[in-house]
Amino acid sequence: MGDVIQLLPDHVANQIAAGEVVQRPASVVKELLENAIDAGATRISLVVKEAGKAHIQVVDNGKGMSENDARMCFERHATSKISNAADLFKLNTKGFRGEAMASIAAVAQVQLITKNEQDDLGVRIDIAGSEVSQQQRTTAAQGTSITVKNLFFNIPARRNFLKSPQVEFRHITDEFHRVALVHHDIYFELLHNGSEVFQLPASSRRQRISHIFGAKFDERLVPVYEKTELVEVSGFVLKPKFAKKSRHQQFFFVNNRFIKNGYLHHAVLAAFEGLLSQNQQPGYFLFLEVPPAQLDINIHPTKNEVKFEDDHALYAVLRAAIKHSLGQFSIAPVLDFATDPSFETPYAKHKAAPVAPNISVNPNFNPFSALPQSKQPTSAVRFDDIVEQEHTEPLIAPQTDHVHVSFQWQQKYLIAPHDNGIMIVHQRRAHERILYEEFMYKWDDETVASQSLAVPLVITLDKPSIDLLKAHKKELHDMGFRLLSAEGDTIEFEAIPEVFATADVPYFLSAWLTPLSNGTVHAFSQRDIMALTLAKQRCIRSGRSLAAHEQIELIHKLLSCKEIDRTADGKVVFKMIAANVLKTFFTP
């Protein structure tokens, strides 16, 4: 048999490498911005069209390149950052692999214009699919301009896998944030489809965070600083009350490089232990300086993963630094939440003798004697108002047409006999299903009515959330929301859906925006989302005791629903143990 192993052509090898380096337009943005920073630029402009699918341009005022370097930068493994393997452990630059420009040129049409300080003229190179179509001298300002057009023009399958423009631009914005946050001393600007999205002057680190996420973000930040022989930790964490369900306000930087590290993230969570409610994520902007020799960044082509020489010690330092800051700035709790504050005795009363209370009782008092006839008590049954919500309507309308026996177990489940066996009901999910169908029935084939507010409702959010709301203004309008203004990090509503209380709006917006901010698409209609969110917020909570008649009404209401076995988002509501199954429990 003849030889079968052959050396791949350069353009094929470049396309293979591009599969790891260039995954989407945001990958191109990341590589080009990092190259501009390594070139010593103090001003960087990013211009994007059609979420990067059609056009990405990065212009910087860095040191530029000579004609030979400009041509050489498109070759694989060509770099000015390292010269031998030992340099991998003393890196101070963003790039070092020498793959980015070759990979981009393999899957896009690229134009490079650059000029260094020594040359009178710059150089222009046009390259597409790894083939140079033009190279010539041209007039240019000092620095570099790289334009990438028609990404994946020669790989249609990869282009078809790109997401919607909104999702792709979201990824571009994330990469822009990561670079701009760590290099606060550089002027950045971002333009999309001719509109200015960000204009970030050189500033302090704290100011840069506020410029990106909104002016009111400054008051949410808690400074963190700790310096040891192993690591220098600096930056900010967000106060616990501003925690979110999403993780898009979490940033780790090591030696001015953005990284993702689940182990360090766990250290932050440990520092916030006891301060966050379930499923809440702390926000943080943490910058770590580690000796380059104790760090390996050559793990993945994206350079977002690193390995530390002593990650256990780093974990301890990071956790301690954050806990110290939370305590120093009076963020940590001063109450023991495991005890009931009402049982605490003031210090001044510790030695006081107990005094028996004086109580006078009128045995002839009748509380109903003074009520008018219309206010005499009736046999109608209502749930008590939910303490944590400001809603005065009964949770379930009185409707007890049949007699059932039921008891509550662990203040979470209702167990009741049924003709077919034993019914075990999850009380919170059952009430959630009931409320969901009531809301959907109310809106069936009707426009969602709005209620005008006497005073506009002002809500403070981070800037990316405000941008998302503005982008989905039509959907909000269809759901009964009327925007008055949306500027900076605040949004004002002049009207909200009729069934909403003002306290419902922040909760609903958080639930509605979370999947959008993560780049996912709602699987439900807008009315489904409204009904599901309100039902989840207003339903009976697990841990609440129900009277016997309340349990019976809840079961009756559930059995009258169109779908009784699952909640709107697919969770099991009840289980039935059939009579014939019960018999098997006692079979000898």
Residue-wise DSSP of 506-566? HHHHHHHHHHHHTT---SS-HHHHHHHHHHHHHSPPTT----HHHHHHHHHHHHTSS--SB
CB 422 within 8 A of CB 585: no
237 and 196 within one domain: no
Give residue 143's region: left, alpha or beta (phi > 0; psi -120 to 50).
left
CB 478 within 8 A of CB 508: no
Alpha helices in 260-406 (DSSP H): 262-271, 311-328
CB 322 within 8 A of CB 285: no
Domain count, the chain: 3
Q: State the CB neighbour count (10 A cutoff) for residue 211.
A: 20
Residue 5 belongs to a domain: no
CATH number of the domain where residue 230 is located: 3.30.230.10
Q: Tens place of pLDDT for every residue, the chain, 588 residues?
A: 566 777 767 666 666 655 567 888 999 999 899 889 988 999 999 999 999 999 999 999 999 999 988 888 888 776 765 555 555 555 666 655 667 888 898 889 999 999 999 999 999 999 998 889 999 999 999 999 999 999 988 888 888 888 888 889 999 999 999 999 999 999 999 999 989 999 999 999 999 999 998 877 888 899 999 999 889 999 999 998 888 888 888 999 998 889 888 889 999 999 998 888 777 889 999 999 988 888 776 556 666 677 888 888 899 999 999 988 888 776 654 444 444 444 445 544 545 666 777 776 777 776 666 555 544 444 444 444 444 444 444 444 444 344 367 888 888 898 888 777 788 899 999 999 998 888 887 766 566 778 888 888 888 888 788 888 888 888 788 778 888 888 777 888 888 888 788 888 887 887 777 766 655 545 456 677 778 888 888 888 888 888 888 888 888 888 888 888 888 888 889 888 887 887 788 876
144 and 34 within one domain: yes
Q: State the CB neighbour count (10 A cutoff) for residue 417.
A: 12
**pLDDT computed for residue 561 by the predictor:** 86
168 and 296 within one domain: no
Question: Any residues with CB less than 8 A from the CB of 223 and at least 6 apart, and which?
Answer: 235, 236, 325, 329
Whether the CA torsion 270, 275, 278, 283 is positive or negative: it is: negative
Q: Strand, helix or coil at 499?
A: coil
- Dihedral angle computed from the Cα positions of residues 528, 530, 535 and 541, in that order, rounded to the nearest 10 degrees: 120
36 and 184 within one domain: yes
- Would you state the structure tokens that stand for residue 167, as one six-digit string? 């999702």
Residue 351 belongs to a domain: no
Residue 518 belongs to a domain: yes
Question: Any residues with CB less than 8 A from the CB of 472 and at least 6 apart, and which?
Answer: 516
Residue 361 belongs to a domain: no
Please measure the distance between the N-terminal and C-terminal CA atoms of the chain and give it in whole angstroms: 72
**pLDDT computed for residue 390 by the predictor:** 43
Tell me how far apart the alpha carbons of residues 419 and 179 are, in angstroms, rounded to a whole number.
65
Question: Any residues with CB less than 8 A from the CB of 244 and at least 6 apart, and which?
Answer: 280, 281, 283, 510, 514
Residue 559 belongs to a domain: yes
CB 479 within 8 A of CB 508: no
166 and 78 within one domain: yes
Tell me how far apart the alpha carbons of residues 383 and 544 are, in angstroms, rounded to a whole number.
11
CATH number of the domain where residue 44 is located: 3.30.565.10
167 and 288 within one domain: no
212 and 191 within one domain: no
pTM comes to 0.59
144 and 52 within one domain: yes
- Would you state the structure tokens that stand for residue 380, as one six-digit string? 């109608």
DSSP string of 145-189?
EEEEESTTTT-HHHHHT---HHHHHHHHHHHHHHHHHH-TTSEEE
212 and 193 within one domain: no
Q: Which domain holds residue 523?
A: 381-449+498-588
Q: State the CB neighbour count (10 A cutoff) for residue 148.
A: 25
DSSP string of 375-421?
GS--S---PPPPTTS---S-SS-----S----EEETTTEEEEEETTE
- Would you state the structure tokens that stand for residue 526, as one six-digit string? 């807008």
165 and 77 within one domain: yes
Q: Which H/E stretch holds residue 472? A: none
Tell me how far apart the alpha carbons of residues 79 and 96 are, in angstroms, rounded to a whole number.
6
- Would you state the structure tokens that stand for residue 442, as one six-digit string? 């109310």
DSSP string of 19-82?
HHH-SSHHHHHHHHHHHHHHTT-SEEEEEEEGGGTSEEEEEE-S----HHHHHHTTSTT--SS-
From 266, 298, 328, give the residue that closes a domain.
Answer: 328
CB 495 within 8 A of CB 505: no
How many residues does this entry show for the chain?
A: 588
**pLDDT tens by residue, 232-264:** 999 999 998 888 888 888 999 998 889 888 889
Tell me how far apart the alpha carbons of residues 193 and 210 are, in angstroms, rounded to a whole number.
24
280 and 168 within one domain: no
